[in-house]
Amino acid sequence: MKSVRLSRAMVGVMVAGGLFMSACGYDATVVPEAKAPATTSGSAIKPVECDNATQSYQPSNDAAAARRELLNPDRLVVGVSADTYQLGWANPFDDSRIQGFDIDVAKAVADALGVKLQLRVISAADRPTLLGAKTDGEAHEQEIDLVARNYTMNCTRWTQIGFSAVYYNATQKVLVRKDDVGDFEKRGVASLAGKDVCAPAGSTSIDNIKEIQPDVEAVPAANHTGCLVKFQQGEVDAITGDDTVLAGLAAQDPYAVVPDQQKLTDEPYGIGANKGDKDLIAFVNSVLEQRRSNGEWQKSYDKWLKPYLGNATAPAPTYGRR
Amino acid sequence: MSQTASPQAAPPPPAAAPAPAAPATATRAGTGHVDTPGLLNRWQLIGMSVAIVFGLLSAFVQFLGWQSDGRAAEDTKQLQRVQEIQSSLLRADALATNAFLVGGLEKQRATYDEEINTVLREITNAADAQPADREVLGELNVAVGDYTRAVADARSNNRQGFPVGAEYLSGASTQLRADATPILSALVKANTERAEGSMDGQHPFWLLLIGLLALAGLLWLNQQLAQHFRRRLNKGIAVAAAIVLVVTVIGVVGAWIRDSSNDTLRDGDLALAISQAKARTAANDAKANESLALIKRGSGAVYLEEWEGSATNVERSLRRDTGESWNDYVAVYREIRKLDDGGNWEKARDLATTSAASGSSKPLDDFDKASDQIVKAASGHVGHDLRSGRDVALAISIFSLLLGIGAALFVSRGIGERRREFS
């Protein structure tokens, strides 16, 4: 009797054990927490005051002297944008060739130098470092000869790099949603208080808008097109930048509008170069002078920017920097 | 039941008994009498219990082994699924980024769609197959949804000639690596551990230990009987011990064979399937980085670094049958970089996008196909080997239980014989 009871108990234990093992599952798969990316503080460059931000070196057509300053003897490497519609962008309908108002300047300089042009796409933040500027006390190796990428001339930047004479006078403005146009036109930048406004990291636009309206929430992106993606995905309410760039963004999105507004700042564009490449800068100035006089500047402006920004003429250059 | 009888009171052995069966030790010092029937009952209970517990435990350990092999087959299949998702997702990204270099080539779209369909189908299958993966597969589904939406946005903007399309695409690739890659890595790691753990489910040592303990128990019982009766060997217990010995030998040898077979599988075909799936994923990651670096036109240093990392991962698992196509790909890639760095972006782009043998896509496609075939074949072997012979293992488990019960009956019979002799 006892042994029968024992056998039954054992069978029970075995069946229960089997069922337990069958039902017993694995622990849920866990994805390890991602390490938070190291946050980099913005550039802590102390603003420099001066009254000759647009003053460049006297033009010179000494191509040989300019060529001696190139990084490669037979090649001009120019840092450009490939996503700034109408200024410098890769056109998918034209075999992805990079073209635009800035690119025309780069082509003209390379042609005048008699060398091959290499366009290297760079971000706004990369501009000074790739030109070999010393930033935040850190030296950088020069990798490009020039920057033709809507580069605003200012006194602080002159301490890091050299500029050509001004080749376009842009202004900083704001792009908003179609729904917000009325409010913006009525109250101006005050309507942006508490709103998220995007501008490229390393550009002057973020500093400028914070100075005018400290209550905006500045949101950086790698470039203006990155701002447009954030804008389309509802992450930011507005984008600030140069009127040239904003016109290109508005052209890509019918819900993005640049309302009638007062300019926030003047943004004179120059071609950036290494601080020591004065012969190259002087040569670029002679090319810009030539383009102004032979109508090439106007032709280029009319082709790329006039449909979006209306009539304009070439800005007058200032020389005499030593 | 219990009967009190002194040895002196015990009746003489029947005439028919083959030998005198009177207890060898008639009295115990100090007690004066021994309750032999009670003792026989206790020994019968102990002996039967030893045999039944042996049968139960042996069967249980073998049942666990049988179950573990089945689980290992399922875990291996799940591992194959998540690695298929990983490789297909990176393959889709390689196709999407490459197509973008030539204005969103539509001819690559069908292949991209196929890869994404594979990803979505396998996510559903994997969630059905393994409840422990379900939650993270849900997160993966969201990440894949975000990725495909961003690629669709990129394509539609690109088709209108808007540069924001390229931004959507590079953002999609970056997000894919930030969101989906950690999930897939965690899934691969968890399922590799599960598959390897399940393959360790055979326990020949435990079966040997259970058998030895049972034999020791029966030997002890035989000795007790020998001390009380004048027969050195109890036939019933001897037969029970023989059954225990045979069951133990069969169980241990069977479990040992399966254990070594699983070790061979784990270090052989399973390791091969895992390493080749990783290589396939890394190769497609490299191709996507090659395209992204070209899309960025000189500002894609981060993608060049990523490419080198992916190439190192591929080269760790290179085999003779995949090495040639990978080396061909690397040679074209180096040529592409030379052209791009030398200012010949268009030529570099053409080499990266052409489907001709001179471009980088053809050798990469060859590598992808070859490694995919290796993964499928090796995973198939693992699943087949783990499942084969499982019916026999289950039959042995049941057989062990029945023989344990049989051994118990022989113990009962052996002690019953002594009881009859005693009475």
Which amino acid does the sequence have at B313? N
For chains A and B, CB pairs below 8 A equal 138
* A117 domain-assigned: yes
Say whether both A87 and A177 belong to one domain: no
pLDDT of residue A8: 52
Tell me whether 0.95 is exceeded by the ipTM. Answer: no
User: Cα separation of A5 and B332, whole Å?
Assistant: 77
Give whole-number Cα distances, B379 to A270, B65, B67, B271, in Å: 61, 21, 19, 10
Angle made by CA atoms A232, A177, A83, in degrees to the nearest 5: 50
Say how many C-beta atoms besides its own lie within 10 A of residue B334's C-beta.
Answer: 11
Are B135 and A28 an interchain contact pair (Cβ–Cβ within 8 Å)? yes
Are A98 and B53 an interchain contact pair (Cβ–Cβ within 8 Å)? no
Are A31 and B178 an interchain contact pair (Cβ–Cβ within 8 Å)? no
Of the candidates B196, B153, B180, which has an alpha carbon nearest to the alpha carbon of residue B82? Answer: B180
Q: Is the dihedral of CA A181, A182, A183, A184 positive or negative?
A: positive
pLDDT of residue A209: 86
Specify the residue for token string 């601080």. A275
Say how many C-beta atoms besides its own lie within 10 A of residue A222's C-beta.
Answer: 20
Say whether both A65 and A148 belong to one domain: yes
Helix and strand element counts for chain A (H, E): 12, 16
* A260 domain-assigned: yes
Q: Count how many domains chain A has.
A: 2
Burial class (CB in 10 A: 0-12, 13-18, 19+), B121: middle
Say whether both A137 and A278 belong to one domain: yes
User: Cα separation of A223 and A232, whole Å?
Assistant: 15
Say whether both A178 and A156 belong to one domain: no
Q: What is the pLDDT of residues B318-351, one digit of tens each?
A: 888 888 899 999 999 999 999 988 878 889 999 9
Of the candidates A123, A253, A124, which has an alpha carbon nearest to the alpha carbon of residue A176? Answer: A253
Judged by a CB distance cut-off of 8 A, whether residue A14 touches chain B is yes
Of the candidates A28, A26, A24, which has an alpha carbon nearest to the alpha carbon of residue B137? Answer: A28
* A225 domain-assigned: yes
* A153 domain-assigned: yes
**pTM assigned to the model:** 0.77
CATH number of the domain enclosing A251: 3.40.190.10
Of A14, A34, A119, the CB nearest to B60: A14
Are A98 and B297 an interchain contact pair (Cβ–Cβ within 8 Å)? yes
Judged by a CB distance cut-off of 8 A, whether residue B2 touches chain A is no
**pLDDT, greater one: B3 or B344:** B344
Percent of chain B scored above 70 by pLDDT?
91
Are A25 and B296 an interchain contact pair (Cβ–Cβ within 8 Å)? no
The interface residues of chain B toward chain A in range 156-215, judged by CB-CB distance below 8 A, are 157-168, 171, 178, 182-183, 186-187, 190-191, 194
Measured in angstroms, the CA of A316 and the nearest CA of chain B are apart by 31
Of A7, A75, A126, the CB nearest to B52: A7
Residues in chain A, pLDDT under 70: 1-24, 34-46
> For residue A160, how many C-alpha atoms fall within 13 Å in the half-sphere facing its CB?
25
pLDDT of residue B9: 37
Structure tokens at B20: 């005198």
Judged by a CB distance cut-off of 8 A, whether residue A95 touches chain B is yes
Q: Find the mean pLDDT for residues B142-156.
A: 93
* A23 domain-assigned: no
Measured in angstroms, the CA of B297 and the nearest CA of chain A are apart by 5
- Cα nearest neighbour of B60 on chain A: A14
- Cα nearest neighbour of A228 on chain B: B164
Say whether both A79 and A179 belong to one domain: no
Is the model's pLDDT at B11 over the cut of 70?
Answer: no
Of the candidates B288, B222, B270, B247, which has an alpha carbon nearest to the alpha carbon of residue B406? Answer: B247
Contacts 24+ apart (CB under 8 A), B143-151: B143/B175, B143/B176, B143/B179, B143/B180, B143/B183, B144/B89, B144/B116, B144/B119, B144/B120, B144/B180, B146/B172, B146/B175, B146/B179, B147/B89, B147/B93, B147/B172, B147/B175, B147/B176, B147/B179, B147/B180, B148/B116, B150/B175, B151/B96, B151/B112
pLDDT of residue B318: 83
Of the candidates B250, B246, B322, B309, which has an alpha carbon nearest to the alpha carbon of residue B282? Answer: B309
Of B60, B131, B401, the CB nearest to A17: B60
Judged by a CB distance cut-off of 8 A, whether residue B64 touches chain A is yes
pLDDT of residue B19: 42
Are B103 and A95 an interchain contact pair (Cβ–Cβ within 8 Å)? yes
pLDDT of residue B415: 86
**pLDDT, greater one: B10 or B107:** B107
pLDDT of residue B40: 85
Concatenate the DSSP letters of all residues of A195-263 into one string. SEEEEETTSHHHHHHHHH-TTSEEEEESSHHHHHHHHHTTS-SEEEEEHHHHHHHHTT-TTEE--S---
Give whole-number Cα distances, B314 to B133, B330, B352, B374, in Å: 27, 11, 19, 14
Concatenate the DSSP letters of all residues of B42-102 into one string. HHHHHHHHHHHHHHHHHHHHHHHHHHHHHHHHHHHHHHHHHHHHHHHHHHHHHHHHHHHTT
Specify the residue for token string 């890769």. A90
Do the beta carbons of residue A175 and residue A258 sit within 8 Å? Answer: yes
Domain that holds residue A217: 171-266
Secondary structure (3-state) at A170: strand
Is the model's pLDDT at B26 over the cut of 60?
Answer: no
User: Cα separation of A73 and A64, whole Å?
Assistant: 10
Do the beta carbons of residue A165 and residue A56 sit within 8 Å? Answer: yes
Say whether both A194 and A231 belong to one domain: yes
- Confidence band of B1 (pLDDT split at 50, 70, 90): very low
How high does pLDDT run on average in chain B? 85
Are A75 and B167 an interchain contact pair (Cβ–Cβ within 8 Å)? no
Last residue of a domain, one of A223, A245, A266: A266
Which stretches does DSSP call E strand in A49-166?
Answer: 55-56, 75-80, 83-84, 88-91, 97-99, 116-121, 146-147, 162-163
Give whole-number Cα distances, B162 to A49, A221, A258, in Å: 39, 18, 18
Give whole-number Cα distances, B85 to A274, B16, B171, in Å: 48, 80, 20
* A200 domain-assigned: yes
Q: Find the mean pLDDT for residues B65-72.
A: 87
User: Cα separation of B25 and B34, whole Å?
Assistant: 9
- Cα nearest neighbour of B342 on chain A: A118
Are B296 and A121 an interchain contact pair (Cβ–Cβ within 8 Å)? yes
* A31 domain-assigned: no
Judged by a CB distance cut-off of 8 A, whether residue A84 touches chain B is yes
- What radius of gyration, in Å, describes the C-alpha atoms of chain A? 28
- Confidence band of B39 (pLDDT split at 50, 70, 90): confident
Task: For the sheet with A75-80, list strands across it.
Answer: A116-121, A75-80, A146-147, A272-273, A162-163
Interface probe for B, chosen from A4, A19, A29 (most Cβ of B below 10 Å), is A29
Of A3, A92, A126, the CB nearest to B104: A92
Say whether both A151 and A296 belong to one domain: yes
Of B67, B102, B401, the CB nearest to A22: B67
User: Cα separation of A201 and B169, whole Å?
Assistant: 20
Which residues from chain A sit within 8 angstroms of residue B354, using beta carbons?
none
User: Cα separation of B95 and A177, whole Å?
Assistant: 34
- Confidence band of B124 (pLDDT split at 50, 70, 90): very high
The residues facing A270 across adjacent strands are: none
Say whether both A195 and A286 belong to one domain: no
pLDDT of residue B321: 81
pLDDT of residue B25: 45
Say whether both A163 and A65 belong to one domain: yes
Q: What is the pLDDT of residues B187-237, one digit of tens each?
A: 999 999 998 888 888 888 999 999 999 999 999 999 988 888 777 888 888
User: Cα separation of A174 and A161, whole Å?
Assistant: 28
pLDDT of residue A182: 92
Which amino acid does the sequence have at B156? S
Say whether both A156 and A126 belong to one domain: yes
Strands A318-319 and A55-56: what pairing? parallel
Q: Find the mean pLDDT for residues B71-87.
A: 90
Say whether both A155 and A233 belong to one domain: no
Which residues from chain A sit within 8 angstroms of residue B69, using beta carbons?
none
Say whether both A219 and A279 belong to one domain: no
* A27 domain-assigned: no
Judged by a CB distance cut-off of 8 A, whether residue B79 touches chain A is no
Measured in angstroms, the CA of B324 and the nearest CA of chain A are apart by 32
